[in-house]
Amino acid sequence: MAGGMEAGDLQMIGEGLERILADAPLEAIDHAGGVGEDMNALWQTLYENGYPLLCANEEHGGMGGSLGDAAFVASITARHALAAPLADTVLAIGILSACGIEPAVYRIAISDPLNEGAPLAHSTQSDAVLVFKDGRLRLEPHSPGQVEPLKGAEDGAAPRGSRIEAMEDIAAPNWLTAEAFHALAALVRSAQMAGAMQAVLDLTLTYTSEREQFGRPLSKFQAIQHHLSDIACETAASIAAVEIASDALAADPHCGARTIEEIAIAKIRCGQAAARVAAGAHQAHGAMGFTREYKLGRYTRRLWQWQDEFGSESEWAIRLGHAVLAEDEPALWPRISAPL
């Protein structure tokens, strides 16, 4: 499996993706109810520029990135509130490529192996689903037009349909357990939360500096400054947690127990921060933040949704606590105090 891309190359790829998403029409970015012509055109552009294949091995036509690089893409897509499943597709194709499969570039949703009853995110925009069950990877066809999205789901989430004949069905390598698969998807969601929080911070800073009350910008009022500093601190902590987990995965591409614990920390930290960031941003925006036309809700609704996908912070906290208590030697303080 690849050990990750050079930082400069990854940054260049990210800048290109930023430009594509910034120039895309809103209907292509936020068409959560289905694919649509604009979203199809945007996906074709992303495909032609190779973004779905970021984490695929070079012998499979990919860029040779590590699975951890999917988090980098996830953060960018979240900053633009992209409804299309690019981040999930990058991870899914990377997993399949790591297992020796050269997959066709479908729009791929990811099913949670530890919660089969969970809604399938991006169900209305995906034409394939990657499923891990009983030690096997299955890439199943999916018909987005035949699903009814859940009310209020930002990314076209819908109940998981029945399993059908797979396009790919292979035994997973020993390192890829259900727990590792679940954790990899959780890292993507953590990165998406961190990216969305950065967008919320930028949006709130702009709004409060431009909007005036009593002859002064809102950002000059102490109560608003408290909200801004809280949002900034929570966002910075979340970004750091995701970076640490991504670095751990780059060093341990088989996603071992310690790496899963680092991902757990990231999912917990981002989940906790998401609630505070969303609340603070809506407070700072006042009534404007709750209108459907204003884009703040596009981010905060996703934050609330991503908190629970692939394990809530409480579920991950319980797993992390069990892992620490299972150590033969005292493990909590050495891990807290270890240098980064």
Backbone angles phi, psi at 213, to 5 degrees: -140, 135
Report the pLDDT value the prediction gives residue 332, as an integer from 0 to 100.
73
CA distance linking residue 43 with residue 37, whole number of Å: 10
Residues 6+ apart with CB under 8 A from 248: 258, 259, 262, 263
Cα–Cα separations (whole angstroms), residue 166 to 95, 172, 178: 16, 15, 18
Contact 181, 113 (CB under 8 A): yes
Domain ranges of the chain: 7-171, 178-337
* Residue 27 CA, distance from chain mean position: 21
Angle CA(88)–CA(5)–CA(247) in degrees, nearest 5?
A: 75
Q: Which of 29, 175, 167 is nearest to 105 (CA)?
A: 167
pLDDT of the residue at 151: 72
CATH code, residues 178-337? 1.20.140.10
Please report the pLDDT score of residue 172 as a whole number.
Answer: 93
pLDDT at site 4:
62
Contacting residues for 98 by C-beta, under 8 A, at least 6 apart? 1, 57, 67, 173, 176, 253
Q: Binning pLDDT at 50, 70 and 90, where does residue 212 land?
A: low
- pLDDT tens across 18-44, in order? 999 999 988 888 766 566 788 889 999
The pLDDT of residue 166: 80
Token match 């055109």: residue?
A: 41
* Most confident listed range (114-128, 194-208, 322-336): 194-208
pLDDT in tens, 66-90: 999 999 999 999 999 998 999 999 9
CA distance readout (Å), 328 to 163, 316, 337: 42, 21, 18
Give the burial string for 79-109 (b: 16+ CB within 10 Å, else e).
bbbbbbbbbbbbbbbbbbbbbeeebebbbbb
Please say whether the beta carbons of 47 and 88 come within 8 A: no
Residue 297's region, left for phi above 0, alpha for psi from -120 to 50, else beta, is alpha
pLDDT at position 1 over 50: no
